[in-house]
Amino acid sequence: MKHQHLFTTVIAGLLGTGALLLSCSKSDNSTSGPGDPPATTSDTVLVNLGTNIILPSYQRLATSTATLDAAATAFTAGASSATLSTVQAAFKDAYKAWAACSEFEFGPAADRFLSTHFTNSFPTDTAIIKSNVGGASYSIDGLANFAAQGFPALDYLLFAYGNDNTLARFTTNGNAAGAKQYLTAITASIKTKAAAVADAWSPSGGNYLDKFVKATGVDAGSSLSLLANSYVQDFDVNLQNYKMGIPIGIYGPNTLPKSPTKVEGYYSGLSDALLLAQVQAFQAIYQGGLDDKVAASKAQYGAGSLNDAINSQLSNLITKMQGLPEPLSTGIQNNAATISSAFTEIRKMTVLLKVDMSSALGIKISFQDDDGD
Amino acid sequence: MCFPDCESPQPFDARIVVLNITSNIMKKTFTLGMMSMLSAGIILSTGCSKDDNNSPSNPTYTVPDTYNFSDADSLGAKTTLSMLAEVEAVINSGNTKGVSVDGAKLKSMLTNQGGFFTDTVFNSNTLHLNTAAFQLKAGTVSSAQSVIDNIMDSVAAASKTGNTASNGVAGVSERKTLLSANGIYWRQYFTKTMMGVLLGHLITDAYLGDSLNNATTSAAKIHAWDQAFYLWCVPANFPTNRSGVKYWGSYTSQIDSGIAKPVAALTGINANPTLMSAFLTGRAALSNNDNATATQQAGIIIPFFEKMEAAAALHELNEAKGNLPNGAAAVCGNLSESLGFWTALKYNQHKTISDADYQAVLTLYGTNFYNITPAGIDAILDKISSIYGWDSVKSNL
């Protein structure tokens, strides 16, 4: 164990030296400076983000998906309007909890495949779902089933046919047994993965939190780099492109046919609530300490500070999300001006995060969004 | 026992001639002293005690940095590699929906009958494949020949369906890959299996074995060693020059640096430096009748193929994880490559893995790639890593 301790000390020293050099070169005295202890073992911003935002987000997801799974089990055991209503409410709560976790697809979430691709791939493939419900052999998390699992598949199963017909599909329909089995297979899968990631972050479990707060600096592999890349990718790709751009017919510089059925939460009409929850999560993460780092960089934006510009745009965006027509899919069909106005603000936000914020933080954004913008 | 080479050991000035031959290429500083460290033990303990005079008692040659030996001959290896590539091309034709592949033709190509190959030109030398004495099937590990024949039949059958591939349905995927009903991408499975049962077998069992056969002439040993090197499919000045690498020539770089591209650093099992050093040292040794050192270097290469096959199987699992967002067909391709390497390992006659461990990994691949889960891919990866002690580098393989 002595060797391990020595190794840790040496690495910590190296990291500390790196942080010191960084702080000198960027005049960033928010986290460390010449008078600080030489071996920085953690970053106060990372401590706050990890302890007060990321871990609680996953704990909430774990709790809400456990509630969802229990509600789904109760529904399949005794399908009624009441149990259907309960499982639908639990679904909405868990889905919104996911909107506050999709920003962290690194570390435990990546290791355990609790990522957008497996959890929130929409539009869901209804043909596969029908086939599976109809008795086809399937592996719920299998390669052939990625487009038929996660929250979007639940959205379809619980909302696509209206309450009466949904009840019938789980009771009198010839494939009712298959529907019940499929519903609980999905809720169990999400619950298991969410619990595993929450446990992996928890100090009483895998304690990735400790690793997170100690991986200081801005190099590739540092926690700030992992977080910023995941956070910006979630905004740029998932929110801008998939939740809004493609449904309204805009993908990068290209104009596509409008696809209102491709919104997130199409069947439940939860699209607006999910967008709002996600932007609020972005705001909480930014104001959880990224703002301090951006402010300390003294980066300017126009006549003011970059930090003020980002905070202002986040507030503006929340207002825009609150003003979206409900359901979003109908608003898209009707060419609602509030949607195009909101999309314009989303794009401004993307640039602020992807270009200005990352530059101020000294982070290299390495993901590819493939939309050509 | 005395062999022709040792009856007339080369005098010192003869070795100088060898040095002069290679004087136009970069030399390693790894000369006399280090060579003696490598070879002296064998010369003294093995060579002398067994009255084996094959090796000069005091090697004084230099090991070059590149394989630019003036008398190196790569044409035999190129013939083998060209045949393999042409069979792959025919299999690839089945990746287009509606194109039926002739299984009988494929099997005829394996036995070099029917004149289905196209002559190729290499360094101004025309390789007449159809009249070459070599046959891919005969060069394949005998117990694996039926496996390869079965792949040929499966390619033909799947290509004739005209189906779009999906879970339970053989056919062509949206990525233009001919898949079995359970997700095996035939062309990749064929190639990766052949990298072991053909190329690995020829290198380790045939050519390096011939290189060390004291019943043959020095020239024959050198020729065999050259074939082994060029079946690696790298250029003479590899890895400085990586152009034209294929098969193991590509994979030794991949298992040295993981899925990050371009190759940035040695983070894996150091296959490139291990093989290059051994091939160069062994070849220089043979050129100087230092059979003991050549034997020692072959003893590095031969068992290393097991690590390469296992590491390549693991590498493709990392690729599969990276390809998860690209859909089932993409991941099926990587899994097929991985399973191909693992199949190759089964027929590696020098493997040290226990039958139980081998089978445990094979079982984890399951019976249908469409139903494998991301966690299931991790389980295979972790098991291979555990068996070979690669936990600290498994993400970089």
User: Would you state the pLDDT for residue A336?
Assistant: 87
The pLDDT value given to residue A355: 95
Tell me the average pLDDT of chain A.
89
Segment A283-286 long-range contacts (CB within 8 Å, at least 24 positions apart)? A283/A314, A283/A315, A283/A318, A284/A53, A284/A100, A285/A49, A285/A53, A285/A103, A285/A227, A285/A231, A286/A310, A286/A311, A286/A314
Binary contact (B374, A138; C-beta < 8 A): no
Please name the member of B325, B328, B374 whose beta carbon is closest to the beta carbon of A144: B328
The DSSP bridge partners found for residue A304 are: A301
Is residue A15 scored above 50 in pLDDT?
Answer: no
Residue A146 sits at the chain B interface (C-beta within 8 Å): yes
Judged against a pLDDT cut of 60, whether residue B32 lies above it is answered with no
User: Taking a C-beta distance cutoff of 8 angstroms, is the pair B22, B71 a contact?
Assistant: no
Sign for the CA dihedral angle at A243, A248, A250, A251 comes to positive
A167-220 pLDDT per residue, tens? 999 999 999 999 999 999 999 999 999 999 999 999 999 999 999 999 999 998
Compute the residue count for chain A. 373
Q: Count Cβ atoms below 10 Å from residue B241 Cβ, excluding itself.
A: 12
Q: What is the pLDDT of residue B261?
A: 60
- Partners of A300 in beta bridges: A305
In sign, the C-alpha dihedral spanning A326, A330, A332, A336 is negative
Name the most confidently modeled range: A26-30, A172-176, B26-30, B218-222: A172-176
Contacts of A127 in chain B (CB under 8 A): none
* Closest by CA position to A305, among listed A290, A294, A318, A316: A294
pLDDT value of position A39: 38
- A165 vs B50 pLDDT, higher one: A165
Structural tokens at position B102: 């002739």
pLDDT of residue B44: 25
Mean pLDDT is lowest, of A256-260, B55-59, B337-341, for B55-59
Quote the Cα angle for A156-A162-A168, to 5°: 90
pLDDT at A130 over 90: yes
What is the average pLDDT score of chain B? Answer: 85
- B133-172: pLDDT as tens digits: 999 999 999 999 999 999 999 999 999 999 999 999 999 9
- For a pLDDT cut of 90, what percent of chain B falls above it? 75
Position A368 pLDDT exceeds 80: no
Contact residues of B toward A, CB < 8 A: 166-168, 183, 324-325, 327-328, 331-332, 369-375
Q: Kindly provide the ipTM of the predicted complex, given to two decimals.
A: 0.75
Under an 8 A CB cutoff, do B183 and A117 touch?
no
The type of residue at A371 is: D
Cβ neighbours for A198, distance < 8 A, ≥ 6 positions apart: A55, A58, A59, A61, A62, A205
Place of tokens 């509600």: A71
pLDDT at B209: 86
DSSP H/E element including A55? helix A55-77
A138 neighbourhood in chain B, CB within 8 Å:
167, 371
Amino acid at B265: A
**Phi, psi at residue A154, to the nearest 5°?**
-65, -40
Q: Is A48 exposed, middle or buried (0-12, 13-18, 19+ CB in 10 A)?
A: middle
Closest Cβ–Cβ partner in A112, A117, A138 for B324 = A117
Answer yes or no: do B328 and A146 touch at CB < 8 A. Answer: yes
Query: Which residues in chain A touch residue B332, judged by CB atoms under 8 angstroms apart?
Result: 143
The answer to whether A107 and A208 have CB atoms below 8 angstroms apart is: yes
Give buried/exposed letters for A59-83 (b at 16+ CB in 10 A, else e).
bbbbbbbbbbbebbbbbbeebeeeb
Taking the C-alpha atoms of residue B252 and residue B281, their distance in angstroms, rounded to an integer, is 18
Closest CA to A275 of A125, A120, A169: A120
pLDDT exceeds 50 at position B30: no
Q: Which tens digits make up the pLDDT trace of A97-121?
A: 999 999 999 999 999 999 999 999 9
Residue with tokens 């993307």: A350
Residue B337 reports pLDDT greater than 90: yes
Q: Sort out which chain B residues have CB atoms less than 8 A from A242's CB and list them.
A: none
A330: confidence class by pLDDT, cuts 50, 70, 90? very high
Residue for token digits 């980002």?
A310
**Residue A320 or residue B209, greater confidence:** A320
User: Which residues are A250's β-sheet partners?
Assistant: A255
| A35 SS3 class | coil
Residues in A closer than 8 angstroms to B167, CB to CB, are 138, 144
Q: How far apart are CA B300 and CA B7, in angstroms?
A: 28
CB atoms within 10 A of CB A326: 12
**Of the candidates B183, B189, B182, B178, the residue with the CA atom closest to the CA atom of residue B151:** B189
Distances (CA, A) of A48 to A41, A74, A285, A287, B227: 14, 38, 10, 10, 61
Give the contacts of A134 (CB within 8 A, at least 6 positions apart).
Answer: A175, A178
Query: Looking at the predicted structure, is the pLDDT value of residue A78 above 50?
Result: yes
Amino acid residing at B232? W
> Is A30 a residue whose pLDDT tops 70?
no
Q: A137, A143, A186, A197: which to substitute to probe chain B, counting the most B Cβ within 10 Å?
A: A143
Query: Does B373 contact A146 at a Cβ distance shorter than 8 Å?
Result: no
Residues 6+ apart with CB under 8 A from B212: B221, B291, B294, B295, B298
- Compute how many other C-beta atoms are within 10 angstroms of the C-beta atom of residue B246: 15
Binary contact (B375, A113; C-beta < 8 A): yes
Is residue A182 a contact partner of residue A129, using CB atoms and an 8 Å limit? yes
Q: Which residue has the higher pLDDT, A336 or B29?
A: A336
| pLDDT above 60 for A34 | no
**Amino acid (one-letter) located at B352:** T
How many Cβ contacts (< 8 angstroms) between chains A and B?
A: 40
Nearest to B374 among A137, A138, A141 (CB): A141
| Mean pLDDT score, B203-216 | 89
Cross-strand bridge partners of residue B171: B179
Please give the average per-residue pLDDT across A162-170, as a whole number.
Answer: 97
**Per-residue pLDDT at B262:** 59
**Cβ(A194)–Cβ(A58) under 8 Å?**
yes
- In this structure, of A234-248, A299-313, B49-63, B275-289, the range with the lowest mean pLDDT score is B49-63
Report residue B123's pLDDT band, with 50, 70 and 90 as the boundaries: confident
- The pLDDT assigned to B273 comes to 95
Cβ-Cβ contacts under 8 Å for A111 (sequence gap 6 or more): A200
Q: Is B52's pLDDT higher than 60?
A: no
Give the C-alpha separation, A336 to B116, whole Å: 64
| Residue-wise pLDDT tens digits, A221-260 | 899 999 999 999 999 999 999 999 999 999 988 899 999 9
Which stretches does DSSP call E strand in chain A? 250-251, 254-255, 300-301, 304-305
Which is higher by pLDDT, B57 or B81?
B81
Are B337 and B188 spatial neighbours (Cβ–Cβ below 8 Å)? yes
With CA atoms as reference, report the closest residue to B214 among B68, B46, B64, B77: B46
pLDDT for B213 equals 83
Looking at residue A210, its pLDDT comes to: 96
User: Which whole-number Å values give the CA distances from A182 to A72, A87, A134, A352, in the listed order?
Assistant: 10, 14, 10, 42
What are residue B126's DSSP bridge partners? Answer: B121
Sequence-separated (6 or more) residues with CB below 8 Å from residue A261: A123, A247, A329
B171 three-class SS? strand
What does the block give as tokens for B202?
């020829």
Q: Which of B373, B380, B395 to mutate to test the interface with A (most CBs of A within 10 A)?
A: B373
Give the pLDDT band (50/70/90) at residue A80.
Answer: very high
Which whole number is the average pLDDT over A345-370? Answer: 90
Q: Cβ contact (<8 Å) for B370 and A143?
A: yes
The predicted model gives B195-213 an average pLDDT of 93
Burial of B237 (0-12, 13-18, 19+ CB in 10 A): middle
Chain B: closest CA distance from residue A356 (Å): 27
